[in-house]
Structure 1
Amino acid sequence: MALTLRHGVFMAPFHALEEDPTMCIHRDLELCEWLDRLGFDEAWIGEHHSAGFETIASPELFIAHAAAITQRLRFGTGVVSLPYHNPLMVANRLIQLDHQTRGRVMFGAGPGLLASDAMMLGIDPSTQRDRMLQALDVILRLFRGEVVTETTEWYTLVNARAHLLPYTRPHPEVSVASAVSPSGGRAAGRYDLSMLCVAAADGAAFDALAANWEIACRIAAEHGRSMDPARLRIVAPMHIAETREQARENVRFGFRKYIDYFNNNSPGRFPVPAGTDPVDWFVEKKLGVVGTPDDAIAMIERLQGQQGEFGVFLQQTHDWADWEGTKRSYELYARYVMPHFRGTNAARVASYQWVGENNVEFSGKRQAAVEAMFRKHEAEMARSGGGS
Structure 2
Amino acid sequence: MKTGLFYVCESPDNDVKRAYAEMLDQVEYAEELGFESVWLAEHHGSNYGSMPRPAIMAAAIAQRTARIRIGAMVSILPFENPVRTAEDWAMVDVLSEGRLDFGTGRGYQPREFAMMGKDPAQSRELYNEALDIVLGLWREDSFSYDGPFHQLENTTLVPRPLQSQVPTWVAALSPETYEMAAARGVRIITQPNNRQTLEDLKKNYLAAEQVYFESGFERQDLEFPMNMVVHLASSKSKALERSERSFDWYMTKLRGLVPGSDGKPAAKGYETYAAGYAADEAKFSLRGQAEERLVLVTDPDDAREFMLALQQELDLKHFTCFMRFGGLGHDDVKESMRLWATEVAPALREAAGGGAA
Q: Could you say whether these structures have the same fold, taking a TM-score greater than 0.5 normalized by the shorter chain as the test?
A: yes
1:45 corresponds to: 40
1:193 corresponds to: 186
Shift of 1:206: 3.1
Counterparts of 1:222-261 in structure 2, within 5 Å, are: 223-226=215-218, 228=220, 230-261=222-253
2:177 corresponds to: 184
Give 1:235's aligned amino acid.
Answer: N
Shift of 1:270: 7.1
1:327 aligns with 2:330: no
Shift of 1:61: 0.4
Larger Rg, first or second structure (1 or 2) = 1
User: What is the aligned counterpart of 1:172 among 151, 156, 166?
Assistant: 166
1:136 corresponds to: 131
CA 92–348 in structure 1, closer or farther in 2 if over 3 Å, else same: closer
Counterparts of 1:81-92 in structure 2, within 5 Å, are: 81-92=76-87
CA 148–116 in structure 1, closer or farther in 2 if over 3 Å, else same: same
Shift of 1:195: 1.6
Greater length-normalized contact order (CA 8 Å, ≥ 6 residues apart) = 2
1:368 corresponds to: none
Give 1:232's aligned amino acid.
Answer: F
Counterparts of 1:295-374 in structure 2, within 5 Å, are: 295-301=302-308, 303-304=310-311, 308-317=314-323, 318-319=325-326, 321-343=328-350
Asked if the contact 2:243/2:328 (under 8 Å) is kept, the reply is yes
User: What is the aligned counterpart of 2:103 among 103, 108, 117?
Assistant: 108
Shift of 1:160: 1.6
Give 1:242's aligned amino acid.
Answer: S
2:120 corresponds to: 125
Task: Give a deviation string over 1:143-202, Cα, whole Å, max 9, x none.
Answer: 12243333433223232221343211x222111112x333431233112212211x2355
CA 262–294 in structure 1, closer or farther in 2 if over 3 Å, else same: same
For the residues of structure 2 that align with 1:262 and 1:154, how far apart are their CA atoms?
Answer: 30
Counterparts of 1:29-108 in structure 2, within 5 Å, are: 29-108=24-103
Task: Give a deviation string over 1:334-358, Cα, whole Å, max 9, x none.
Answer: 11001111129x9999xxxxxxxxx
For the residues of structure 2 that align with 1:138 and 1:236, how far apart are their CA atoms?
Answer: 30
Shift of 1:92: 1.7
Q: Structure 2 length as normaliser, TM-score?
A: 0.85
For the residues of structure 1 that align with 2:62 and 2:36, how far apart are their CA atoms?
Answer: 13
For the residues of structure 1 that align with 2:180 and 2:147, how far apart are their CA atoms?
Answer: 19
For the residues of structure 1 that align with 2:217 and 2:32, how far apart are their CA atoms?
Answer: 37
For the residues of structure 2 that align with 1:117 and 1:241, how far apart are their CA atoms?
Answer: 35
**TM-align CA RMSD:** 2.7
Structure 1 unaligned residues grouped into runs of 5+ = 350-388
1:285 corresponds to: 292
Q: How many residues align?
A: 338
Give 2:68's aligned amino acid.
Answer: L
For the residues of structure 2 that align with 1:253 and 1:209, how far apart are their CA atoms?
Answer: 27
For the residues of structure 2 that align with 1:163 and 1:277, how far apart are their CA atoms?
Answer: 46
Give 2:37's aligned amino acid.
Answer: E
Asked if the contact 2:4/2:37 (under 8 Å) is kept, the reply is yes
1:357 corresponds to: none
Structure 2 unaligned residues grouped into runs of 5+ = 262-275
Shift of 1:67: 1.4
For the residues of structure 1 that align with 2:108 and 2:35, how far apart are their CA atoms?
Answer: 26
1:13 aligns with 2:22: no
Asked if the contact 2:7/2:41 (under 8 Å) is kept, the reply is yes
CA 251–104 in structure 1, closer or farther in 2 if over 3 Å, else same: same
For the residues of structure 1 that align with 2:217 and 2:348, how far apart are their CA atoms?
Answer: 28
**Which moved further from structure 2: 25-34 or 316-325?**
316-325
Give 2:277's aligned amino acid.
Answer: R
Asked if the contact 1:252/1:320 (under 8 Å) is kept, the reply is no
Task: Give a deviation string over 1:302-359, Cα, whole Å, max 9, x none.
Answer: 5446x61121110113146422111101111111001111129x9999xxxxxxxxxx
Q: Secondary structure at the match of 1:204?
A: coil
Asked if the contact 2:7/2:40 (under 8 Å) is kept, the reply is yes
